[in-house]
Structure 1
């Protein structure tokens, strides 16, 4: 039976929006006020979202169940499988002693842990975001920071915040190219519009990361390094976004910043070397270039394979190996209506298992690591068992929060929130990033947020006489500010550093920062447009 979405079930768009926000507010309160474990808050939010969908929106019970199942499956694959594969690869490097060499190689560049955050979380994290996305950058960089001596909450929190640097253009620029395709707008124009704000955010972000580690003293002692790193990153970012577009911007910006900072540190060092554990020795064991290259090989393979598997030409070769599983009773049985879309459109609900996926790329990197290093079966089995045991509850959390998000999306609750913000008229540029922020909170992905809200952004912009590309860009930027608080991202970060059940601590670490950045972005957007 076909069901059409209802966007204003209570007859007043703002009252309807308040009701639509209940599941989101419940999840936030459950984490921050009641301090429930992530999987408990997630499962409870699924129930709350289902009740709102049934009682306020009149969504048929079978379709509510179908949306929840679809969300849970999407949480399992690709999100959870990416984290599983990445952590398994990390554990292999630890158990074979290679990670100790990786740690020493980073420390040989600088023993100062404030600058290590710039190297790992900011630069390497943005590089991985450009290559992989989908949670892998936060998971990998967080475990590296822990290996360098950071406490789990701090490591995960810093990496979530640092993800802003590359979050607008992850996985080869698809957060920009996907909404461009959906709205028939030039991808380069959208990328260029994001360059009005994102490079500035990138510079501020580098200073913020050091501040979070060592407050103002850290900034005063390391500002030359911060300026070299963030200035290079932002400059390359601006140029690439206005010439080549979004596809390679993260990779090129990160590599340029990493190279510039490494070369700068050969000539300069802070007067005082900062270590989190006071009095801890900063001395490291020296390794040959060959040893360092071999130790980094697993992550080099991961990066190369993820980039390869992200290329459209490579994906096209393996299109025939994609398994498409339509969700019965949901796929094309829910219709989205104007003004969310230009005409009544069936909402697809197809669970896809792709061969050319990030998960397969990371698994292949792990397999090649096993073969190249000739890792014994006992170590492989221990790494796999530990990974599965540690990530079981985090995977439940990931599946629960995506089930809750998909119910919000398929019931029309997300669109109600979007329409309420779109009704603000001339003030819409202020709220356009908020729409992206809400979308990423619900979907965990800037790409999915674009699929959800980019058409609405473009239509609303055209109606009030503003560039549609500008508001689609605002959707991308606002969504980026929400990645650090998205339940999916928080669950992934918690899983990576062994903080299962303590997701509320990470959420508390990031929520204020996210909101402040969102307000700043909204004000800048309003002033520009």
Structure 2
């Protein structure tokens, strides 16, 4: 049985044992903040910010009373979480929504709609596959950290698709690329902490994800248009899956696991666009994009899509350019890091300093800065192209208006991250993980749930890997299971958990301008997340028992 060391924290976990006297009891108490949050949000439909405030209070009480964490430390962990919410998460979200608002402010959102309508032959469901599945996956592979969902949700909404359905479709469509997001940082993180080769973990993930990916484009069609959408557009969904699944296999085995999401998403987009040149679905009137009033010249197409193709170029240079100047290394060198005041005594479960107390400020390396640069270039180009209707100053004014527009979402994201940090640094999240990993051989089925829970709480598959990487490897050793399998499904499960992450819900609702309806998003997105995580658990169990042994590298 996996047990937590009483020396793992400066406030001994034994302080809680006399009250509950079991890891199970400690875990159930640790779950109280999450139970409060999802009950208040999903059952009582309270505004997300109030759910987050209540859950944060519960987490602080559990940390202080249950785990004996000093009051000052628990409060400072909440402050660090809020700061991390601002940098980089809110920074990214604001800049991503600003990019969309620039197209809206200049009237070019109509041109964006016309371009995707042209490629998708006027069918909103095909456009949904192109944007919510392929294009969002491409942005995920380059950027991650909330930017892809924010941008893709805004684009889907621009096309005239219902906002709630647009948001859910994007969150579900993006889920299985999250593990390979931002140049596969989640894979690198979980492999390092689990003591395994990241390439091997990535290859194992690349063999598992195609099975789950088979469902995703069909689910996306179902979300957008029910059974009718699946019947009429199944061929497009199949082709989109072939590209994405094949890209995951080839990317992880023949190219580089870091480029998997980028390569797979590009391949999926190209194959789907190619299909649309020789095939047309039956498109009902309510799923048909408005016909363009005039033939759209190439210049308007280029300018309308400028924020989106330019962001790909900027991110590609920032993440990949090493000729002459190692741009990624230079940008990374500008990051400022320091131990958060008042938290220098927090240790990890193995007794080493807890990396979560190290606060990084990636001024130039942040996706938010890259989006800011992209937005400023867009402002200059738009001002040059149409000086009578738009100026650089108007673009900056739009940025200020975007911040005001997102004020509730900004508060919500900061509160949710405060909750995550209190739970993480007090030991609540690790306690839940240790409890689940104590189930022996059955842990193969439950293992993905750790990543699912970790990302649902923190909003980050990278954080889920940091939380549970070592624990997954230890559990695998104790139960005689392949460590690369458990580490891989931790990150795949993390991507699935991101569908219902409060942070993700807040980002998506802000992007489609339905702030305050996060509870509705949660209720409608939860079944898809549960379906995928249960299937992943079954696949993991079968792979660990040799029935699907070929999935393990």
The TM-score, its normalising length taken from structure 1, stands at 0.95
Q: Which residue of 1 aligns with 2:532?
A: 517
Query: Pick from 130, 133, 136: which aligns with 1:122?
Result: 133
Query: Does the CA contact (< 8 Å) of 1:164 and 1:202 recur in 2?
Result: no
Q: Which residue of 2 aligns with 1:217?
A: 228
User: 2:247 matched to 1:239?
Assistant: no
Query: Does the CA contact (< 8 Å) of 2:176 and 2:213 recur in 1?
Result: yes
**CA shift in 2, pair 1:372/1:468, >3 Å:** same
Query: Pick from 348, 359, 365: which aligns with 1:336?
Result: 348
What is the rounded CA distance, in whole Å, between the counterparts of 1:384 and 1:272 in structure 2? 37
SS in 2 for 1:498: coil
Q: Which residue of 2 aligns with 1:140?
A: 151
CA shift, 1:358, in A, is 0.5
Query: Pick from 10, 13, 36: which aligns with 1:6?
Result: 13
SS in 1 for 2:46: coil
SS in 2 for 1:270: coil
Query: Pick from 342, 349, 353: which aligns with 2:357?
Result: 349
User: 2:522 matched to 1:507?
Assistant: yes
SS in 2 for 1:97: coil
What is the rounded CA distance, in whole Å, between the counterparts of 2:413 and 2:282 in structure 1? 43
SS in 2 for 1:178: helix
Q: Which residue of 2 aligns with 1:49?
A: 59
CA shift, 1:138, in A, is 0.8
User: 2:317 matched to 1:304?
Assistant: no
SS in 1 for 2:347: strand
Query: Pick from 58, 69, 75: which aligns with 2:68?
Result: 58
SS in 2 for 1:3: coil
SS in 2 for 1:267: coil
CA shift, 1:402, in A, is 0.6
Query: Does the CA contact (< 8 Å) of 1:104 and 1:284 recur in 2?
Result: no
Query: Pick from 77, 86, 89: which aligns with 1:79?
Result: 89
CA shift, 1:166, in A, is 1.4
Q: Deviations over 1:474-503 (max 9, x none)?
A: 101111110110111111111112222211
What is the rounded CA distance, in whole Å, between the counterparts of 1:307 and 1:65 in structure 2? 39
The number of equivalent residue pairs is 521
Q: Which residue of 1 aligns with 2:4?
A: none
What is the rounded CA distance, in whole Å, between the counterparts of 1:371 and 1:107 in structure 2? 27
Q: Deviations over 1:274-308 (max 9, x none)?
A: 5348xx74456422333312322222221222233
Q: Deviations over 1:458-477 (max 9, x none)?
A: 11101221111111011011
What is the rounded CA distance, in whole Å, between the counterparts of 1:164 and 1:263 in structure 2? 24
Q: Which residue of 2 aligns with 1:363?
A: 372
SS in 2 for 1:336: coil
Query: Does the CA contact (< 8 Å) of 1:149 and 1:276 recur in 2?
Result: no
Query: Does the CA contact (< 8 Å) of 1:3 and 1:334 recur in 2?
Result: yes
Alignment of structure 1 residues 295-444 onto 2, 5 Å: 295-311=304-320, 313-331=326-344, 333-337=345-349, 341=350, 343-354=351-362, 355-374=364-383, 375-444=390-459
C-alpha RMSD of the superposition: 1.8
Q: Which consecutive unaligned segments of at least 5 residues does structure 1 have?
A: none
Query: Does the CA contact (< 8 Å) of 2:203 and 2:252 recur in 1?
Result: yes
Query: Pick from 491, 500, 511: which aligns with 1:476?
Result: 491
